[in-house]
Structure 1
Amino acid sequence: MNRNLKTKLGKICHDTKMDWNKSKPVVKIPGHVTSNHSFCTFRAISPEEALEEKAILESIAWPRYPSLQPDYSLINTNNPACGSFTILPRRGGGKWHIGDQLEVMVQIHDYLCRPKKYGGDVLLARLHTPALEAGVAGQVVDHLNGSYSAVFTLLWEGRAEVQVTLVHSSEAVEVLRRLTVQQPDRINFKSLFRSGSESESTNCNICLRPSRTPLCNFTDVRTGEPWFCHKPKNLSCESRIDCSKGEFTQNLRLDEEKLFVRKVNMKVHIRSSGPSDVFVTSNIKDEPNSTLSSGRWTPSGFYYRGAWRSLSGTAVQDFSPEQMTQCLKGKQVHLYGDSTIRQWFEYLIEVLPNVNKFDLHTKKQPGPFMALDHTNNIMVTFHCHGPPLCFVGSLTSQVRYIANELDGFAGGRDTVIVFGIWAHFSTFPLEVYIRRLMSIRGAVVRLLARAPETLVVIRTANVKALSLYVALTNSDWYSMQHDKALRAVFRGLDVRLVDAWEMIVAHHLPHKLHPEPPIIKNMINVILSYTCPDLLS
């Protein structure tokens, strides 16, 4: 057992008189806590990891609202109808060319149409040409004075239109920040305990408020990932059989709901103060390609005629079902994550011509699932990642922490590991997420050390449609922070990314937690291009 983990658990045992000989001990009060989230339990990490975590949190720190305890009026908050953006002239003048940097200035105004004087708003920017099914995400820079820059790389010829979207006002972000600090348990979880004819359901979480009710400690022994449930009155901790998401508690202050109104001040476009498009020319006769991007801001890729074109070094090819089979012949593809990864499993078994789903008699949402093509020796599997992902009826016997699963693989050139883990961590302190990623990273490092030809692909977070409930539990702002943390944790490792964030921001289809089939097809093409880079060349 990890020495730090053993020391931490030993302290809990000493404080609560836990019995080391019991695999599922009962705890009287929550274990060791850190940070200012006084009733959350975090996985123990090394001093080096603690320094890294601190650096990551500082690097992604969001601008704070001017007052630590904001006393604002709604009329002082963002009114997209008054705000505007302006396309700045090309540096040096003249016509716009492929490879140029297009810069847009955005000014945010309040409901009295006065310019705001501070930053912290959440904006998205896209440049697109509907007729060409072309689109690219822009980089948004906060100048901390109510104005923002959006920077785009011009990548195709013709007329290209700028679109700037207000996701959240800075005041809304402050509410989301406060909720995570004060109410990280606003989504609770439940487990069913059963023995014979007797059963009982209790609340579970990483963050359980202090109580006289004894706790069952289900912290994973190998990874140290914490999970607790209130102990049933008449049953043992060992009688737990499942995990599911429970109730949502919404505790907003007066008028705060009005900060999260769709198409009013949440996920609404900002108008242009002048022309909203530019005309791009080029002396190059060929279609756009990855060699044309240069300058200060380089996106990970862009769409052209509906196909994703990577700017990160690996050319993305368009695979037919037969070519997909040829690429995956003799390979095993293991998918781990949430429902956005399950989408990929469902796409593969639908499109691959000879793959048949093997009936494991598991539930529709949590799985696990397996599909086989015996003729071509292809295997595709899906497993949910561990808590706090708890689909209804998720059996505890099927809980899979990604790090533990990776440690069980021999790996090799015929093994493809894909995972995505982000959406179910939004209500928790960022430390919970960062430490889970660090745990997975350790397993990835060990896997690549023993089998360096193993392909590891990570799916990033993505934007989605927002309602009040979604905003309070899985806002794009939360996803943006998690996306930055994920990239920081895995930076420098020999892994590949599917940039779901940019692939959805850049696309003309509406933002959705579960992207539409055309986007999924492009994502799968990215994975297959990593797997078989030379197949179609």
Structure 2
Amino acid sequence: MGISVEEWGRLQKALDWPGPDQEITQLNLSTSPVHSTFSIVGLKKSYKVGENISILITARDHNNNLKTYGGDFYKAKLFNSKLKASVYGEVVDHRNGTYAVTLLLPWEGQSQVFVRLEHSSEVVQILKKYRDSSFPRSHYNGHFEGPGINNTKISEVVQCNLKWGAEGSWRKGDCCCEYKDIKTKTVWQCERPKKLSCDYLVHHSMGNLENPLNSAEKQIFTMKLTNVAITGDTQVITVLPNTAGIGTMERCRSGLTTPVPAGFYFSDVWESFVCNAQQFNSTQMGKCLENKIIYLLGDSTTRQWFEYLEKNVPGIKRMDLHTPRTGGPLMAVELKNNSIIHWRPHGVPLRFTKMLITDLHYIGNDIDEIAGGPHAVVIFTIAAHLVFHPITFYVHEVAKIRQSVAALLRRAPETTIIIKSGNTGGQKNIFQSDWYTLQLNTVMREMFRDIDGVIYFDVWQMTSCHYITENVHPEPVIIGNEVNMLLSYVCPA
């Protein structure tokens, strides 16, 4: 994995998630969203802005028996639909079937509590099992193209995947063409084409998904019991004004930690508790990006930022690089203010539509090619496409990126480097559960904790407490708030 034994031990501690001490295969013993409840502890007639309320979640199984162990994956928030206001609450696991949530009351008016069971502890046990296995839940296609007889062209499509772990290949024997990246040491495999040699791999695309669940696991992992609201105290909470307020924020910079909550929505605007988030109009966006080169690396969630800036920065134009419109790489320029924005997807494994394999670069390798400096802003994310693969591989990838980031900061310490966390997604299944993403976010945050000069921009809370249905590609109102927060780091007030 490219890390020390000591660091792996610390990561395992950070990733620790309680659950049953034996494999549960009976549905009636798993947590039931119907019988589980939440209550507001010591509910008062009214509160003041800035105060907290405490929530107690009690988990029960399908026989209505109290659970005796933890591990359920709950999400909680406070909201007011009319005010378009909401705030995230972190769920603390007591490991005995009860959970606590502390919710801040950040706005004046009325509020209500909402709690949902995303996955039972028994489902998390299944998720963990397959995350740690080498079972290929996601497959990929390699497109080989080359010359045939009589000036014809041969095209072959074969299955490809990652070579990783003790078991190595997902195919056995002398099955495959291997492509090893020199710097990251990552090995990509494709089944050997029947007519062409391994040198003719031209394109990459997503393949099929393979469900590993057995019949008992499928019963526990039924979608009817996934991402379900639980019943509880739905009384309206009255919040009165507080002349003292919540306090002022410092300027956005590297080194700041993410509190819980990290902010809240009010009238669809994100009010940050991390630092002084600004609201940028189009002119101010253009001014902020003056003489800047922005490198957006990662997946389609950073492409959404590229597209938002492309749409809102005056005078910016996308260049025709003769690449797929959504696959990239992409570049936009604004000549008056001398601004350049690049976006590039990360290397395989990647579930994108058909694109040139040569256009898929590992993030660490791309960062190694950036000179850096006060004009350079490097933003990267890597989460959504790695949830299909062992977490040990993710650690390996992050270790290589960290190595490249550290080298960039040594040669150009004035470079702005921003890590975008993974956000919540729409699918809650064995392939793309938010529990996977939450674990990957933990790895990224822990592994960059001691790297000075790096900004960790946590969008998890921003995407999980909004009233719009969760989607791996958040709606424009959320993207707009993310970009305002992003620019607040690039041009702090």
Query: Shared fold (TM-score greater than 0.5)?
Result: yes
Cα separation, 1, equivalents of 2:132 and 2:488: 41
2:166 aligns with: none
Q: Secondary structure at the match of 1:423?
A: coil
1:485-512 alpha-carbon deviations (Å, 9 max, x no partner) = 1111111332223321100122121111
Amino acid at match of 1:65: P
What is the Cα deviation at residue 392 of structure 1?
2.3
More off after superposition, 377-386 vs 251-260: 251-260
Contact kept? 2:25, 2:220, Cα under 8 Å: no
What is the Cα deviation at residue 287 of structure 1?
8.3
1:401-432 alpha-carbon deviations (Å, 9 max, x no partner) = 11111111111111111111101111211111
Amino acid at match of 2:433: S
Select 2:24's aligned residue among 70, 80, 92.
Answer: 70
Q: Secondary structure at the match of 2:199?
A: helix
Select 1:478's aligned residue among 427, 430, 436.
Answer: 436
Amino acid at match of 2:437: S
What is the Cα deviation at residue 462 of structure 1?
1.5
Q: Does 1:56 align with 2:28?
A: no
Q: Does 1:244 align with 2:205?
A: yes
Cα separation, 2, equivalents of 1:275 and 1:249: 40
Contact kept? 1:159, 1:277, Cα under 8 Å: yes
2:89 aligns with: 138
What is the Cα deviation at residue 289 of structure 1?
5.3
Q: Does 1:283 align with 2:232?
A: no
Q: Does 1:532 align with 2:491?
A: yes
Cα separation, 2, equivalents of 1:529 and 1:115: 46
1:356-409 alpha-carbon deviations (Å, 9 max, x no partner) = 110111113321011111122111111000111142222111121111111111
Contact kept? 1:156, 1:287, Cα under 8 Å: no
Cα separation, 1, equivalents of 2:207 and 2:442: 28
Amino acid at match of 1:77: S
Cα separation, 2, equivalents of 1:278 and 1:218: 59
1:60-114 alpha-carbon deviations (Å, 9 max, x no partner) = 12213231x3332x22222212211011127xx8853333332100011222222
Cα separation, 1, equivalents of 2:262 and 2:415: 23
Q: Does 1:271 align with 2:264?
A: no
Contact kept? 2:46, 2:237, Cα under 8 Å: no
Q: Secondary structure at the match of 1:189?
A: strand
Contact kept? 1:184, 1:427, Cα under 8 Å: no
Cα separation, 2, equivalents of 1:328 and 1:278: 43
Select 2:480's aligned residue among 503, 521, 527.
Answer: 521
What is the Cα deviation at residue 276 of structure 1?
3.9
Select 2:35's aligned residue among 82, 97, 109.
Answer: 82
Select 1:184's aligned residue among 111, 135, 142.
Answer: 135
Contact kept? 1:82, 1:113, Cα under 8 Å: yes
Q: Secondary structure at the match of 1:437?
A: helix
What is the Cα deviation at residue 285 of structure 1?
7.0
Q: Does 1:199 align with 2:143?
A: no
What is the Cα deviation at residue 230 of structure 1?
2.4
Q: Secondary structure at the match of 1:55?
A: helix
1:12 aligns with: none
Q: Does 1:403 align with 2:334?
A: no
Q: Does 1:167 align with 2:118?
A: yes
Q: Does 1:154 align with 2:116?
A: no
Change (3 A) 1:276 1:268: farther
Cα separation, 2, equivalents of 1:492 and 1:306: 34
Contact kept? 2:85, 2:265, Cα under 8 Å: yes
Cα separation, 1, equivalents of 2:87 and 2:369: 39
Select 2:447's aligned residue among 467, 481, 489.
Answer: 489
Cα separation, 2, equivalents of 1:101 and 1:226: 50
1:304 aligns with: 266
Contact kept? 2:112, 2:237, Cα under 8 Å: yes
Contact kept? 1:289, 1:309, Cα under 8 Å: no
What is the Cα deviation at residue 156 of structure 1?
2.2
1:206-225 alpha-carbon deviations (Å, 9 max, x no partner) = 14325223432212101222
Select 1:229's aligned residue among 190, 197, 206.
Answer: 190
Q: Secondary structure at the match of 2:331?
A: strand
More off after superposition, 522-531 vs 172-181: 172-181
Q: Does 1:505 align with 2:459?
A: no
Runs of 5+ consecutive residues of structure 2 not aligned to the other structure: 148-152, 164-168, 251-257
1:13 aligns with: none
1:34 aligns with: none
What is the Cα deviation at residue 438 of structure 1?
1.3
Cα separation, 2, equivalents of 1:103 and 1:498: 27
Q: Secondary structure at the match of 2:304?
A: helix
More off after superposition, 385-394 vs 343-352: 385-394
What is the Cα deviation at residue 275 of structure 1?
4.7
What is the Cα deviation at residue 124 of structure 1?
0.6
Q: Secondary structure at the match of 1:474?
A: coil
Contact kept? 1:102, 1:154, Cα under 8 Å: yes
1:158-208 alpha-carbon deviations (Å, 9 max, x no partner) = 222111111001111122222234453121112112221223222221143
Runs of 5+ consecutive residues of structure 1 not aligned to the other structure: 1-43
1:232-261 alpha-carbon deviations (Å, 9 max, x no partner) = 233222211111111112232224334344
TM-score scaled by length of structure 1: 0.84
Cα separation, 2, equivalents of 1:209 and 1:144: 36
* RMSD (Å) for aligned C-alpha atoms: 2.1
2:150 aligns with: none
2:381 aligns with: 420
How many residue pairs match? The answer is: 475
Q: Secondary structure at the match of 2:472?
A: coil
Q: Secondary structure at the match of 1:473?
A: coil
Amino acid at match of 1:124: K
Amino acid at match of 1:56: L
Cα separation, 1, equivalents of 2:248 and 2:91: 24
Amino acid at match of 1:202: V
Contact kept? 1:156, 1:288, Cα under 8 Å: no
Amino acid at match of 1:145: N
Contact kept? 1:498, 1:523, Cα under 8 Å: no
1:45 aligns with: 2
TM-score scaled by length of structure 2: 0.91
Cα separation, 2, equivalents of 1:224 and 1:123: 38
Amino acid at match of 1:222: K
Cα separation, 2, equivalents of 1:298 and 1:79: 27
